[in-house]
Structure 1
């Protein structure tokens, strides 16, 4: 009882039996408090009683009791005192593998904080025993928490004795009977490697190599999972002499594809650590082996890592060695591997930014062949990244090499491929010569515009301002304005809304005079359409013009129409009128303000509650 007074102990025991059970009901949490029925006495406050009480709680039938007890293990250790905690509590925790998984997880998470309660750093090693037990638990999350706590404990052990304790613990885990403990050994070794002496570092690397060759796939998977972290800590000469020879070359031929699947993630780390010659001999050789792997999952994982693996290589090696490997994956028989290779090609482009001829002669033809691939996923991925080539090949070659693919992709039966292509063009519109692209693409756009899926139409609409800048008012009026009219009255809201969003940019491009002569008359006549959804488009357009047309022009052309629509038979139109009327207050005209206020007052007495609400809110803003 050296750390706690009797009163503190009594408070702990009372707190231990008070727990909160949260029961959600009607958005309220009811608190159920279960109180201790036993009377506390001074005699009950000895370490044996505390441990018995703790044991009783951990074995309670009530899960909340068990979890609450486990989360308060620090209080238990403090109440028992350092000596009793080291001997009795730690000994009890050696049987933690008999507890249920949730309790084990909480104990594993909290045991790293017990160092000061067992006597400080001098006695921290006493906690390694139960943590090794928890590191062999069946649940992966328990093992992970145990390794985290072991790391905290090992950091606390004095440097003079830490080396032996760390090495012993690593060896115990790696040679344990249960494969779960051996699986935890890899994670532990990575955490403590830098703390070991040079002699023990050599020994622990031998242990790690034995884990890579373990008979259990789960252990081998764990070893390869943590291999990138271990390689970060190793010098290049050890990676070449030990890791590449004994681990990588062996793992690439492992019987389990779930083990081989983890190998590519190590190559990117190793590639950055090696010199040019070793990098070429080891990484490229392994890459050529992996692309022939029998599992598409392994090939896909390798394709994903190719940009990171290639980054340290010289441009010549990338062109002559890495890209041929990537091209092989682009022709993989499995769609998943080809899709991953397409993404990798996108990631490789920054490394090929100065290789214009290579991209034109090799990369573009490889991607072009995939526009006819049988998998929609592959075609979609090509379409999504095809315009990323534009900054490298230049505006002239975009027209010659990339634009011819547009018609083919836009006619694809998979709508997602068309959407991906148009989205890619929109993202790179500043990097390409739209003057050459628009004439080439426009015929296809006009051909599919009326029959395309609405998502394709939305993607086309977003490009309309860019097309307008190239076509000019006359050509735009002949070729695209009929489509604009059609899209403003389209059956899907997303199309109508997206089209109204582009109107301001069209006004900005062609000027207010064009808008008042061409666009405004069409919009105004929508107010009499039978479908109220189309009538609403008039009001949507007015809000889009705000900021692009002079306010006086907006008042002149649209205020009478909005006042007329305030008598619409549909409440949805009328509450949009209430919101739209506020835009006219920017004219700072007393007559306009009076008209707006009078209309809003009328709407505030509307029988529909929504109309009344929006009208009243607008009136408040007027004031």
Structure 2
């Protein structure tokens, strides 16, 4: 041993063999750490023909030794003769990449990645790819069925990357059943991660068999997930399921996907409904607005008129998004009356949300649309026998003045506010004062002085204490005193 240490050029491979078979783990570990020195002494040819075959065929059961070996081999390219011979390092690293201990496998994979960059394109195809493909799958199958849900979760989360790496044949034969199992996993976190990859997985399937695989293997699992017990799973699915329509085409969408979309639109979880409504434009592109209105719109209308006010509230919140996707013509024909009906809902929170909804719609469709479509209907409510509805008119004017601008506010909305200052109900009159304070900044100074000020002064002498208070506050805020 002393001779070997003093002159590495004379270091015989037999001595290395003895050391690596020694019972002393530390001695074996030290020998592995000297591998580069030993290889240098042996020369590139003997390293390729003697050292590497020995390392490949010899099995070590100590993880520490295997880990050191996996790390060493990642730096062996020049010691085997450079990039031309780097493929000689693949057999020992392949063995290390299949051992039971995770840290050893990870280090072997790290070294394989490192030397992959040193292969020529031809060597990658001839030597590297045939090694990787059979090496991915047993490990992948194990990981997809691992006892730890976190391991299965990571497989699901990286499934699209795996799919691209292994290619179409392995995808069809091995990944499809693995993906099915992940979609049916007993842990909700795993199902959610897999559900989130449904569209991407289907997009990357081989084109010649894509539709068959989806309809036969993936869609049955998707149908089960639509009614999953976990809302995160349903929400993850709802965020991507609409994208399947562009993959499967019009007929399959109408027959197989629309019933699922309808079910999700009625889901008790608001996020599920939002994710469906957020992606309606995907379906619109495939089946057209007419089919969409016949299929999905009734479900939206049904939700909009639901007996539970919180359900109605959720749909109102989605309406600007829906309107933006479906366009102004469709909205005017199918949804406008719905939005106006919410303004006279018996629940205040709905009326308030409906008012905010109008403002957002005007932001999407413009002031001219508002003047022709929304404003006349809103102002018409000023004559409603129910004073609550008359007050809603004022709330709408407050919101709309911001987005409609000075001309529409002055010409169309302000006269109605003035008229309502004579309302018999004190609550309406003091809301007139609050409205004038709110829309005052939109008006020009001449209008404020000649028209607004006299009305507020009149309200400031009202018999009702609240009307007086809010009128005086408006005069003060608008600097009309």
Q: In 1, Cα distance between the equivalents of 2:75 and 2:171? A: 23
Determine which of 251, 271, 284 is the counterpart of 2:101: 251
Report the counterpart of residue 439 of structure 1 in structure 2: 294
Report the counterpart of residue 521 of structure 1 in structure 2: 380
Q: In 2, Cα distance between the equivalents of 1:233 and 1:343? A: 41
Which whole-Å deviations, capped at 9, do the CAs of 1:469-511 have from their partners, x for residues lacking one? 5647555566665356549964475554234312454667967
Matched, 1:615 2:478: yes
Which whole-Å deviations, capped at 9, do the CAs of 1:307-362 have from their partners, x for residues lacking one? 22223343444344323321221111222211111123344355349565246524
Q: In 2, Cα distance between the equivalents of 1:295 and 1:456? A: 40
Matched, 1:380 2:380: no
Cα deviation, residue 441, structure 1: 1.0
Matched, 1:408 2:263: yes
Sort the Cα spacing of 1:276 and 1:350 in 2 relative to 1 into closer, same or farther, 3 A: farther
1:163-182 aligned at under 5 Å gives the runs none
Sort the Cα spacing of 1:474 and 1:459 in 2 relative to 1 into closer, same or farther, 3 A: closer
Cα deviation, residue 540, structure 1: 0.7
SS of alignment partner, residue 193 of structure 2: helix
Report the counterpart of residue 397 of structure 2 in structure 1: 538
SS of alignment partner, residue 204 of structure 2: helix
Which whole-Å deviations, capped at 9, do the CAs of 1:10-31 have from their partners, x for residues lacking one? xxxxxxxxxxxxxxxxxxxxxx
Determine which of 252, 276, 281 is the counterpart of 1:421: 276
Cα deviation, residue 514, structure 1: 3.5
1:177-188 aligned at under 5 Å gives the runs none
Q: In 2, Cα distance between the equivalents of 1:286 and 1:343? A: 23
Report the counterpart of residue 80 of structure 2 in structure 1: none
Q: In 2, Cα distance between the equivalents of 1:210 and 1:526? A: 91
Report the counterpart of residue 370 of structure 1 in structure 2: 225
Matched, 1:581 2:440: yes
Conservation of the 8 A alpha-carbon contact between 1:419 and 1:459: yes
Q: In 2, Cα distance between the equivalents of 1:383 and 1:476? A: 23
Q: Which has the higher contact order (CA 8 A, sep 6+)?
A: 2
Which whole-Å deviations, capped at 9, do the CAs of 1:374-399 have from their partners, x for residues lacking one? 32322222112111223333455433
Sort the Cα spacing of 1:471 and 1:424 in 2 relative to 1 into closer, same or farther, 3 A: closer
Cα deviation, residue 520, structure 1: 4.2
1:462-477 aligned at under 5 Å gives the runs 462-467=321-326, 469=328, 471=330, 473=332, 475-476=334-335
SS of alignment partner, residue 412 of structure 1: coil
Conservation of the 8 A alpha-carbon contact between 1:555 and 1:584: yes
Cα deviation, residue 363, structure 1: 3.4
Cα deviation, residue 288, structure 1: 1.2
Which whole-Å deviations, capped at 9, do the CAs of 1:280-323 have from their partners, x for residues lacking one? 21112221121121111111111111122223343444344323
Matched, 1:297 2:160: no
Which whole-Å deviations, capped at 9, do the CAs of 1:506-554 have from their partners, x for residues lacking one? 66796743445445424786995389787423311232334xxxx6444
Sort the Cα spacing of 1:295 and 1:494 in 2 relative to 1 into closer, same or farther, 3 A: farther
Q: In 2, Cα distance between the equivalents of 1:212 and 1:484? A: 75
Matched, 1:308 2:308: no
1:260-299 aligned at under 5 Å gives the runs 275-299=128-152
Q: Which runs of 5+ in 1 are unaligned?
A: 1-174, 183-188, 190-194
Q: In 2, Cα distance between the equivalents of 1:271 and 1:371? A: 45
Query: Mean alpha-carbon deviation: is it higher for 493-502 or for 607-616?
Result: 607-616
Cα deviation, residue 440, structure 1: 0.2
Determine which of 532, 553, 556 is the counterpart of 2:411: 556
TM-score scaled by structure 2? Answer: 0.63
Q: In 1, Cα distance between the equivalents of 2:115 and 2:433? A: 66
Q: What is the aligned residue count?
A: 398
Q: In 1, Cα distance between the equivalents of 2:112 and 2:408? A: 61
Sort the Cα spacing of 1:500 and 1:231 in 2 relative to 1 into closer, same or farther, 3 A: farther
Q: In 1, Cα distance between the equivalents of 2:478 and 2:355? A: 25
Report the counterpart of residue 241 of structure 1 in structure 2: 91
Which whole-Å deviations, capped at 9, do the CAs of 1:196-235 have from their partners, x for residues lacking one? 99869x99xx9xx9999259xxxx9xx89xx99x989999
CA RMSD of aligned residues (A): 5.4
Conservation of the 8 A alpha-carbon contact between 2:394 and 2:435: no
Conservation of the 8 A alpha-carbon contact between 2:358 and 2:400: no
Which whole-Å deviations, capped at 9, do the CAs of 1:570-603 have from their partners, x for residues lacking one? 9887566434233344xxxx86464477479969
Sort the Cα spacing of 1:522 and 1:317 in 2 relative to 1 into closer, same or farther, 3 A: farther
Report the counterpart of residue 338 of structure 1 in structure 2: 191
Conservation of the 8 A alpha-carbon contact between 1:581 and 1:596: no
Q: Which runs of 5+ in 2 are unaligned?
A: 1-23, 42-46, 78-82, 118-123, 461-467
Sort the Cα spacing of 1:238 and 1:598 in 2 relative to 1 into closer, same or farther, 3 A: farther
SS of alignment partner, residue 268 of structure 2: coil
Q: In 2, Cα distance between the equivalents of 1:237 and 1:572? A: 83
Q: In 1, Cα distance between the equivalents of 2:169 and 2:253? A: 24
1:60-139 aligned at under 5 Å gives the runs none
